[in-house]
Amino acid sequence: MVRAVLRALLALFYAVAGILHLVMPDPFLSIMPAAIPFAREVVLLTGVAELAGAAALIQPWSHRLRKAAGVGLALYALCVWPANVNHMLIDLGKPSGGAGLVYHIPRMIAQPMLIWLALWVGEATDWPFRRTREPRA
């Protein structure tokens, strides 16, 4: 039950993020590392990826598709981590200090948790929980 609720919430989170990437790409472009070519296209494609991942994660028909969505969204969260680090450095470099470490440190800590959550709700892992198994005959 908990996994299903968190799966729905994560799918909603990624669906909203995907829509925002498509309809308001400029905030995402502002934190994109300069080394990324075709930044606008990358932002738009990540929006599509987030929407596809959310839809695949929430669909009830295929465990394999749900698992693939969990792995894909976990990999996505790992791949956007440099943009989040870049955002932190840009923001902290502002004369005002930006949002400060109070905002950025929890966000950096949340990133690996988000990666794990995608894997767990997609049923790609049960770690650190263990499912009980029937004894073998």
Each residue's pLDDT tens digit, 29-72: 998 888 889 999 999 999 999 999 999 999 999 999 999 999 99
pTM: 0.87
| CA distances for 69 relative to 16, 57, 74, 124, angstroms | 16, 5, 8, 9
Question: What is residue 134's predicted lDDT score, i.e. its pLDDT?
Answer: 59
State both tokens at 117.
């959550």
Taking 80 as the threshold, does the pLDDT of residue 21 lie above it?
Answer: yes
Task: Specify the amino acid at residue 112.
Answer: P
- Please answer whether residues 88 and 107 qualify as being in contact, where contact means their C-beta atoms are separated by less than 8 angstroms: yes
Number of structural domains, the chain?
A: 1
- Whether residue 10 is predicted with pLDDT greater than 70 in this model: the reply is yes
Q: Is residue 136 in a domain?
A: no
pLDDT at 83 over 70: yes
What totals of helices (H) and strands (E) does the chain contain, helices first? 6, 0
SS3 137: coil
Share of residues in the chain with pLDDT > 70 (%)? 95
Please report whether residue 128 resides in a domain.
no
126 in a domain, yes or no? no
Asked whether residue 21 is assigned to any structural domain, the reply reads yes
In a domain, 133, yes or no: no
Q: What is the pLDDT of residue 133?
A: 61
Range of the domain at 67: 2-121
Quick check: 18 and 49 in contact, CB under 8 A?
Answer: yes
Task: With respect to residue 131, please indicate whether it lies within any of the assigned structural domains.
Answer: no
> How many degrees, rounded to 5, is the angle at CA 97 between CA 88 and CA 105?
40
